[in-house]
Structure 1
Amino acid sequence: MTPKKIEGILAAVPTPLTADGKALDLENIKRQTERYIKGGIHGIVTTGTTGEFPALSVEEQKQVIKAYINAAEGRITVVSGIGCTSTEMAIEMVQFAENSGADAVMVVPPYYDPLAWKELYQFYEDVCGSINIPLIYYNLPHATGVKLDANQLRELGKIKNFDYLKDTSGNAKELTDLLTNPVEGLTAFCGWDTLTFFALAGGAEAIVWGVASIVPRECVDLWDAFQAKDLDKARRLWKFLWEVSDFMEQGSYPVGIKTGHEIICESVGPVRKPNLPLSEEAYAKITTILAKRVYK
């Protein structure tokens, strides 16, 4: 079966927790997924940075992945985020995601001890070779220590099933290179919030965006404006989304996203320590920003 094309606004989604933060709130996953779909988004990405994957046990990650897939019921694209420090565990997780019905997996390079180029290439060959669904490379150099240029990323794109790239490097030059000079077999997405407008103007076929889990309809409106080539409208819509995106990049991303859900009365529970809640000043600021949203 030919995999579906991944495109549009992909909401990076949080992991709902109970009020004490000790357990998963799987029922809330169903409710939030319905809200995201009603908001018109084209897909979701689970268990990534927004989903606090480092704070989840392996079993919890599997439960969250499965719960989002089941809640989506095939109506939107579901990408499962995977972050492992060993090839064996990465293969276990991507195979679990595929067998659970994920449309694709997003795999961050092994972190803590950055891999050399040869090791990195072998890692992705092994992981991609273990599945039959597309893999999205999660380019997150400030967290992984793995810094690749556009040509190295294109080289990785030669690996079977290594089909997409979520660029969260913040390096506009390298992203421009990938968007302006695309190669067969590798499609670049933007995953750096404040570069969203820039990336869409440059032809990005998808945005992986935590902000879309808070204000999905506003994010989809921006996408639609670009598809209609209405740049003036896109600029107007971007003004609000820039404010939200800029705020989210100034602190812990999961904290900002979960706070945003709370403010719009769609709580997904607290973050797990060592992350801490926003300061009163920051909470007041994001409350003021979100009050400007169109759909309430």
Structure 2
Amino acid sequence: MNLQGSIVALITPFKDGKVDEQSFRNLLKWHIQEGTHGILVLGTTGEAATIDKEERKRIMEIALEEVKGKVPLIVGTGTNNTKLALEYTKMAEEMGFDAALIVTPYYNKPTQNGLYEHYSYIAKNTNIPIILYNVPGRTSVNLLPDTTAKLAQIENIVAIKEACGNIKQVTELLLKCPEDFTILSGDDFTAYATVMLGGKGVISVAANVIPKEMAELMESSLKGDVAKAQKLNLKLYTLYKAMFIETNPVPAKYALWLMGKIETPEVRPPLAGLAENSLEQLKKILKENYGLI
């Protein structure tokens, strides 16, 4: 499994309160066509927190049908309940996913020792490759580089999605973790910088909307084509910001809806639809800056 480049953190399309299976299939096919290097389903952007077990299994089945063997296929299996996270991770392994992305436990606010015990327990009871996911802005806990380096000694913990937004922390990860441990940006704003420092790519929100361009940015960055990568990164910056005009994945869903890629921009409570002024801003950016609508 080659974990690098632009890995999309895919939305989960809904229609009338249910998973829109056809739109989901269409998105998966589109990403393969556009050159996305890997696909993550049921992450934060996929609204995993409001998806039940039956829906989870169905989403995973569809993803495997459309993607397996074409690009690395990852599924989010993290919760703030260690036993449930293990259950979801075992399910991913049994179904044949290439890797599991496991977010740090939110709300509980574990210590660094608690984080180590959480991840090591799951890793030692499974064989599937595990990607750690650090996103302090959502979880209220920061997986520190020393803890990550310790976890990286466990054979099937192979990578981290680092979404702290702190380039200093990314640098410390590169210094402290084994060379074969993969560091991915979890934040479009730091994707280019992370690769320039020595990371391998990004798990991206913006790739939902501009998969080809994010793939090109990561390819040029990984090849060391600095001039092209810099130009692309600056060009895409306004879209990165637009994807967080309100809480992710709401703007991404509205963008895809405006582009005709999904039937509705529906999100599940407690998320709400875009406010009118945010929608107008998003429309303007998509049209005037990128010609997407």
TM range (shorter): over 0.9
| Counterpart position of 1:258 | 253
Read off the aligned partner of 1:213 and give its amino acid letter. Answer: N
1:199 CA drift (Å): 1.3
Q: Deviations over 1:220-251 (max 9, x none)?
A: 11122223432222222122311111222342
Bigger Cα displacement from structure 2, 113-122 vs 163-172:
113-122
| Cα distance between partner residues in 2 of 1:196 and 1:89 | 31
| Cα distance between partner residues in 2 of 1:228 and 1:185 | 18
Bigger Cα displacement from structure 2, 278-287 vs 166-175:
278-287
Match of residue 212, structure 2, among 192, 199, 217: 217
Q: Deviations over 1:142-167 (max 9, x none)?
A: 22222232122111111231110000
Read off the aligned partner of 1:17 and give its amino acid letter. Answer: F
Q: Deviations over 1:166-186 (max 9, x none)?
A: 001112210122235542453
Read off the aligned partner of 2:271 and give its amino acid letter. Answer: N
| Cα distance between partner residues in 1 of 2:124 and 2:61 | 22
Match of residue 268, structure 2, among 258, 268, 272: 272
| Cα distance between partner residues in 2 of 1:283 and 1:240 | 21
Q: Deviations over 1:52-107 (max 9, x none)?
A: 11111122222212221221131111100112222221111111111111100000
Could you list the runs of 5+ residues in structure 1 that have no partner in the other structure? none
The structure-2 alpha-carbon separation of the partners of 1:284 and 1:295, relative to structure 1 and needing over 3 Å to count, comes to closer
| Counterpart position of 2:141 | 146
Tell whether the 8 Å contact from 1:45 to 1:81 is kept in structure 2 after alignment.
yes
| Cα distance between partner residues in 1 of 2:196 and 2:151 | 25
Match of residue 189, structure 2, among 177, 189, 194: 194
| Cα distance between partner residues in 1 of 2:83 and 2:31 | 33
| Counterpart position of 2:82 | 87
| Counterpart position of 2:8 | 11
Bigger Cα displacement from structure 2, 241-250 vs 210-219:
241-250
Match of residue 64, structure 1, among 59, 66, 74: 59
| Cα distance between partner residues in 2 of 1:204 and 1:145 | 24
Read off the aligned partner of 1:13 and give its amino acid letter. Answer: L
1:290 CA drift (Å): 2.1
Q: How does 1:168-183 map to 2 (within 5 A)?
A: 168-180=163-175, 182-183=177-178
Read off the aligned partner of 2:172 and give its amino acid letter. Answer: D
Secondary structure, counterpart of 1:253 in structure 2: coil
Could you list the runs of 5+ residues in structure 2 that have no partner in the other structure? none
Read off the aligned partner of 2:279 and give its amino acid letter. Answer: Y
The structure-2 alpha-carbon separation of the partners of 1:142 and 1:26, relative to structure 1 and needing over 3 Å to count, comes to same
The structure-2 alpha-carbon separation of the partners of 1:294 and 1:230, relative to structure 1 and needing over 3 Å to count, comes to farther
Read off the aligned partner of 2:89 and give its amino acid letter. Answer: V
| Cα distance between partner residues in 2 of 1:122 and 1:176 | 24
> Structure 1-normalised TM-score?
0.92
| Cα distance between partner residues in 1 of 2:145 and 2:123 | 20
Read off the aligned partner of 1:255 and give its amino acid letter. Answer: V
Q: Deviations over 1:100-150 (max 9, x none)?
A: 111000001222112223332222112112222210001012222222321
Match of residue 124, structure 1, among 119, 134, 138: 119
| Counterpart position of 2:158 | 163
Read off the aligned partner of 2:190 and give its amino acid letter. Answer: L
| Cα distance between partner residues in 1 of 2:199 and 2:179 | 15
The structure-2 alpha-carbon separation of the partners of 1:41 and 1:137, relative to structure 1 and needing over 3 Å to count, comes to same
> Structure 2-normalised TM-score?
0.93
Read off the aligned partner of 1:16 and give its amino acid letter. Answer: P
The structure-2 alpha-carbon separation of the partners of 1:167 and 1:5, relative to structure 1 and needing over 3 Å to count, comes to same
| Cα distance between partner residues in 1 of 2:111 and 2:224 | 42
| Cα distance between partner residues in 2 of 1:193 and 1:61 | 26
